[in-house]
A and B are shown apart, each in its own frame.
Chain A
Amino acid sequence: MNILFGIHKPDSGYLKVFGTEVSFKSPLDAIENNIGMVHQHFMLIDDFTVLENVILGDEITKSKGLSIDFKKAGIVLNEIIDKYDLGLDVNKLISEISIGQQQKVEILKLLYRRSEILIFDEPTAVLSPVEVEHFFKIIDSFKADGKTIIFITHKLNEVKHISDRISVLRKGKLVYESDNSNELNISDLSKAIVGDINDIQNSEKRNASVKNVEALKLDDISLTVNEVKILNSLDLTLMKGEIHGICGVEGNGQSELVDVIYGLQKNFEGNYEKLIPGGISLVPDDRKRKGFIKEFNIGENISLKGANLNFLPSKKINKISEKIISDNDVRVSDLESPMSELSGGNQQKVIFARETETDKNIGSNKSDAEENNILLLVHPTRGVDINATSFIHSKIIEQRNAGKAVLLISSDLDELISLSDRLSVLYKGEILKTFNRNEFSRFIKSDSEIEPETDQNLY
């Protein structure tokens, strides 16, 4: 995709757009050839208005050509917004609008530049189910307008739902191509994606639970931030040896719930009791921001976790790195390369290892009783490739089998259903209902149908 959009140049081969051979030196060339791309990580300026973000680089100016004609630009944009029902206010700042709306701003950027070929990189990863539906409607109207859409995703049901043709790329090769028809089998697709690697049969490995030992109890927890009630008399009990899933649309109090349990948010009302010894481990939602220090290497990042090491000779650090790499199948070119050079899946493996590895293995001299026995996982496989996802899933089960209390927050329903022992629905800061595994197990798909999130740079 980076070649298509002019960010990288191919070593060999050629590119044809609408029948003419082209060679792109920069994204600008791609834009001029009516190719537009919505990146997975938005290219927006928080402190600019929607309008400023859209027109940047291709401004509508007054007759003299220097000052921007905001009025005219507003009219042009509103026409497009109305045509495709984008529902944006062009004068709002990016920092004031939701992620879903920000994506529409990215789409608006392409439409404003008259793109005919639209590339979407993981567009639905950040959207709620309702937003996804609306997104598909917009895509359909583009199709009706004769535009070409390239939709990159690892969510197979979405591919099946929206595509006319499907291609599978693996390790830089086109391994599968087919028209989307009723005969198309999703398991064939996932086989093409996974290749020869055997699925890890998550649900098979599940031990009988060490139930009925309460690990954590939240009783009538309420939290108000900036006069908005975020958690509302929330009750939650976490058992030892269970995976307790939390499902619900993002923004219903998930991150605040984690903050309360992890001790980052202290201004809550209600009772919070930890009933087993040891600490709490957290795999945070935004790994790039909260999960690790990108300039540090693997061993250094691991050593950050309160290990009793006053001196950190690089030999010791490298030993830790080696252990993490071999135990977790982390793909890294150099032992000492910074975390930022790892793919998303490998970064997540390292964070997961840091939070679950017994401290003894990474140089601390804590006793077993002081080990962290509660594990909070927030979107543990978001933006993670398919192999790393099944690896992390099997590790989660392993932690559960070892008797830890696991809280799993995810927006991936399939992940929640296949892993959870109990599943609670979080809505407007309240647990609406909690289901036991036998109540939702009929939704469990065979493992080949689970659609783990995929990091596209792996292919």
Chain B
Amino acid sequence: MDLITSVISLGFVAQVLRLMTPFYLGASAANFSERGGVINISVEGFMNLSAFSFAVISILTGNITAGFILAVLINLLFSIVFGYFTVSLKINQIVTGVGFNLFIAGLTKFLLVYIFSSSSNTPRFEGLPEFTLFSSIPFFGLFLTDYITLFCFLLIFISAYILFKTRFGLRLRSAGENPAAGESLGIKIRNYRYYGILICGFLSAMAGIWMASNQNSYSDGMIAGRGYIALAAMIIGKWKPVNIFFACLMFSAFEAFEISLQITGSDIPSQLIQMLPYFITILVLIGFIGKTKPPAADGVPY
């Protein structure tokens, strides 16, 4: 099969949509945090942490449900600590985020060696059950194959609804835009910032669990910058759920293309393609998609 036919096919489109899952979950995670005024660049680390804890706990207990639940809880616990640092102690959010990323990278490496005596990966495990309801439906059956991907597509609408149509969303956004104004109306800004961070922890857990489940194991460095790309997608998507979806599609299309290159054994070096998403991110950030405006109080401790 040559490159062109492999790219121009329904299967390729489905592949793009499927690979979008961790990007969109990560971007949406970061978006909830930033809408509440907290820049959370540790989405990468949180994804890594949950992929690790989901795989390890599932393998050790032999119970995927336990792995799933505990992975989520561990992420929420780390989120609370992140919130304590950035919201309660008002430590610089970027510095805290970098610290979390480095700490989690080291912790997972250490535990990997400690538990499995392997510096690269865990043994294989079953992964999450498949979602089979759509499997006989053409096209949709090709990418809606697990519950998290299904949730991810619903999330586009759920997050838009929560942010813009609910009381919670309005108050969360006030914490990110002008906390002093929100507070003068009796809104407990700090609580809302914690909520944003917790939602971020939950959604990045979904992304990490999907990664480990999809690969049926955890391997060191498997997140491979997807958390950072998710942040870029959030910025390109101008902090709007539907726009973020399209930004994520672009990134997953590159990833799918790169996979096609490797499968078809094309002469184009895959590293070049791997580079492209980052290159495009820079182009976009320079201002090719118009001005991007973050929430006004994003990153400002309150």
**Residue from the list B178, B184, B185 in contact with A58, Cβ < 8 A:** B185
Question: Which B residues between 150 and 183 are near A, CB-CB below 8 angstroms?
Answer: 161, 165-168, 170-171, 173-174, 177-178, 180-183
Q: Does B186 reach chain A (CB closer than 8 Å)?
A: yes
B166 in contact with A67 (CB, 8 Å)? yes
A43 in contact with B170 (CB, 8 Å)? no
**Chain A residue contacts of B180, Cβ below 8 A:** 43
Known: A59-B167, A66-B168. A27 touches B177 (CB 8 A): no
Chain A residue with Cβ nearest B179: A45
A45 in contact with B165 (CB, 8 Å)? no
Q: Does A26 reach chain B (CB closer than 8 Å)?
A: yes
B181 in contact with A43 (CB, 8 Å)? yes
Given contacts A55-B170, A57-B185, A67-B166, 20 further A-B contacts (CB under 8 A): A26-B186, A27-B184, A27-B186, A28-B185, A43-B178, A43-B184, A43-B185, A44-B181, A45-B177, A45-B181, A47-B173, A47-B177, A56-B170, A56-B171, A56-B185, A57-B187, A58-B185, A66-B167, A67-B165, A68-B166
Cα A27 to Cα B188 in complex, Å, equals 12
Report the minimal beta-carbon distance from B165 to chain A, rounded to whole angstroms: 5
Q: For B165, B167, B295, which residue has the most chain A Cβ atoms within 10 angstroms? A: B167
**Residue from the list B174, B184, B296 in contact with A39, Cβ < 8 A:** B184
**Residue from the list B161, B166, B178 in contact with A45, Cβ < 8 A:** B178
Q: Does A48 reach chain B (CB closer than 8 Å)?
A: yes
Known: A26-B186, A58-B185. A48 touches B173 (CB 8 A): yes
**Chain B residue contacts of A453, Cβ below 8 A:** none
> Could you give 8 example pairs across A and B, Cβ below 8 Å?
A43-B180, A45-B173, A47-B296, A52-B170, A55-B170, A56-B182, A58-B185, A68-B170
Cα A57 to Cα B177 in complex, Å, equals 14
Q: Does A61 reach chain B (CB closer than 8 Å)?
A: yes
Q: Does A46 reach chain B (CB closer than 8 Å)?
A: yes
B: interface residue count bin = 20 to 34
B165 in contact with A47 (CB, 8 Å)? no
**Chain A residue contacts of B168, Cβ below 8 A:** 66
Known: A43-B180, A44-B181. A28 touches B186 (CB 8 A): yes
**Chain B residue contacts of A57, Cβ below 8 A:** 171, 182, 185-187
Report the minimal beta-carbon distance from A170 to chain B, rounded to whole angstroms: 27
Q: Does A31 reach chain B (CB closer than 8 Å)?
A: yes
Report the minimal beta-carbon distance from B19 to chain A, rounded to whole angstroms: 32
**Chain B residue contacts of A48, Cβ below 8 A:** 170, 173-174, 177
Chain A 112-155 against B: per-residue CB contact (8 Å), 1 yes, 0 no? 00000000000000000000000000000000000000000000
Binding site of A, secondary structure by majority: helix, strand, loop or mixed?
loop
Cα A55 to Cα B185 in complex, Å, equals 9
Known: A43-B178, A56-B171, A59-B170. A68 touches B186 (CB 8 A): no
Chain B residue with Cβ nearest A31: B186
Q: For A55, A58, A68, which residue has the most chain B Cβ atoms within 10 angstroms? A: A68
B295 in contact with A68 (CB, 8 Å)? no
Q: For B173, B184, B295, which residue has the most chain A Cβ atoms within 10 angstroms? A: B184
A: interface residue count bin = 20 to 34
Cα A43 to Cα B179 in complex, Å, equals 9
**Chain A residue contacts of B170, Cβ below 8 A:** 48, 52, 55-56, 59, 68
Chain A 16-27 against B: per-residue CB contact (8 Å), 1 yes, 0 no? 000000000011
Chain A residue with Cβ nearest B239: A47
Cα A235 to Cα B293 in complex, Å, equals 39
B186 in contact with A67 (CB, 8 Å)? no
Report the minimal beta-carbon distance from A114 to chain B, rounded to whole angstroms: 14
Chain B 280-302 against A: per-residue CB contact (8 Å), 1 yes, 0 no? 00000000000001011000000
Report the minimal beta-carbon distance from B278 to chain A, rounded to whole angstroms: 29
Report the minimal beta-carbon distance from A71 to chain B, rounded to whole angstroms: 12
Question: Which A residues between 60 and 89 are near B, CB-CB below 8 angstroms?
Answer: 61, 65-68, 70
Report the minimal beta-carbon distance from B183 to chain A, rounded to whole angstroms: 8
Cα A55 to Cα B167 in complex, Å, equals 9
**Chain B residue contacts of A67, Cβ below 8 A:** 161, 165-167
Report the minimal beta-carbon distance from A112 to chain B, rounded to whole angstroms: 10
Cα A46 to Cα B173 in complex, Å, equals 12
Cα A31 to Cα B295 in complex, Å, equals 27
Cα A46 to Cα B177 in complex, Å, equals 8
Known: A31-B186, A56-B182, A56-B187. A47 touches B167 (CB 8 A): no
**Chain A residue contacts of B171, Cβ below 8 A:** 56-57
**Chain B residue contacts of A27, Cβ below 8 A:** 183-186
Question: Which A residues between 2 and 47 are near B, CB-CB below 8 angstroms?
Answer: 26-28, 31, 39, 43-47
Cα A43 to Cα B186 in complex, Å, equals 12
B166 in contact with A56 (CB, 8 Å)? no
**Chain B residue contacts of A55, Cβ below 8 A:** 170
Cα A52 to Cα B168 in complex, Å, equals 12
Cα A46 to Cα B294 in complex, Å, equals 12
Cα A68 to Cα B177 in complex, Å, equals 19
Cα A39 to Cα B180 in complex, Å, equals 12
A68 in contact with B165 (CB, 8 Å)? yes
**Chain A residue contacts of B295, Cβ below 8 A:** 47
Cα A26 to Cα B183 in complex, Å, equals 9
**Chain B residue contacts of A70, Cβ below 8 A:** 165
Chain A residue with Cβ nearest B181: A43
Chain A residue with Cβ nearest B178: A45
A46 in contact with B296 (CB, 8 Å)? yes
Cα A48 to Cα B176 in complex, Å, equals 11
Report the minimal beta-carbon distance from B103 to chain A, rounded to whole angstroms: 30
**Chain A residue contacts of B173, Cβ below 8 A:** 45, 47-48
Report the minimal beta-carbon distance from A275 to chain B, rounded to whole angstroms: 40
Cα A43 to Cα B297 in complex, Å, equals 13
Which 8 A-B pairs rank lowest in CB-CB distance, beginning with the nearest? A57-B185, A28-B186, A43-B181, A45-B177, A59-B167, A45-B178, A43-B184, A67-B166
**Chain B residue contacts of A56, Cβ below 8 A:** 170-171, 174, 181-182, 185, 187
Known: A27-B184, A56-B182. A45 touches B167 (CB 8 A): no
A44 in contact with B178 (CB, 8 Å)? yes
Cα A280 to Cα B278 in complex, Å, equals 46
Chain A residue with Cβ nearest B180: A43
**Chain A residue contacts of B181, Cβ below 8 A:** 43-45, 53, 56
Chain B 4-35 against A: per-residue CB contact (8 Å), 1 yes, 0 no? 00000000000000000000000000000000
